[in-house]
């Protein structure tokens, strides 16, 4: 092998045939590292600016990748804050009408997000009968304010009047919430 010039000390990996090999065994290679110390020719001062100039586009590309990658460019985590968690329990309505209700009434009042589930429940009607029926549970987290409290009551009233329901159960509690 001939020596090539470089800007830093070189390592060369050379295959060496294992001495324990017999004619019927497959070849096994081991590696041995050879260190070639730098010479005055490889450390010429004029070669360093050229190396730095070639590294700049690479470093710019790496920094741009890290700044835009969704995992590497995470914003700092926000400290948990005090919020209100409200669960609303609705009576049964067809899926299409439920989706319209969410889109027209709930989402405009709480655009930051919400969660809902199909659930099964039972309740005692005013006549004393127990009714088991499918229903939906809506969970909304929001800052504690009179405006948001009024918006929750508006959702309840709109649902009762639109779907001729007797009630919408509300369960609210103070929680501490934060995003990772």
Work out whether strand 169-177 and strand 29-36 pair parallel, antiparallel, or are unpaired. unpaired
Beta-bridged to residue 121, according to DSSP, are 133
Whole-model pTM over 0.75: no
CA distance readout (Å), 53 to 40, 48, 170: 21, 9, 65
The bridge status of strand 10-17 relative to strand 81-90 is unpaired
In this prediction, residue 14 carries a pLDDT of: 46
Q: Convert the pLDDT of each residue in 25-67 to its tens digit.
A: 555 555 555 555 555 555 555 555 555 556 566 555 666 555 5
Q: Which domains does the chain have, with CATH numbers?
A: 38-74 (no CATH), 82-173 (3.30.70.120)
Q: What is the mean pLDDT of residues 109-118?
A: 93
pLDDT score of 89:
95
CA distance linking residue 101 with residue 25, whole number of Å: 76
pLDDT tens across 88-105, in order?
A: 999 989 999 999 999 999
């Amino acid at each position: 092998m001939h020596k090539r010039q470089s800007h830093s000390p070189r390592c060369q990996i050379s295959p060496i045939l294992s001495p324990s090999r017999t004619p019927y065994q497959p070849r096994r290679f081991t590696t041995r590292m050879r260190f070639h110390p730098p010479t005055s020719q490889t450390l010429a001062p004029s070669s360093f600016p050229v190396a730095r100039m070639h590294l700049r586009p690479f470093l710019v590309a790496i920094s741009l990748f890290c700044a835009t990658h969704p995992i590497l460019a995470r914003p700092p985590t926000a400290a948990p804050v005090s919020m209100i968690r409200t669960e609303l329990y609705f009576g049964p309505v067809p899926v299409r009408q439920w989706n319209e209700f969410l889109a027209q009434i709930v989402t405009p009042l709480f655009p930051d997000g919400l969660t809902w589930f199909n659930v099964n429940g039972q309740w005692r009607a005013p006549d004393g009968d127990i009714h088991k029926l499918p229903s939906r549970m809506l969970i909304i987290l929001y800052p504690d304010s009179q405006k948001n409290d009024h918006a929750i009551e508006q959702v309840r009233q709109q649902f009762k009047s639109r779907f001729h329901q007797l009630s919408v159960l509300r369960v609210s509690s103070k929680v501490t919430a934060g995003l990772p």
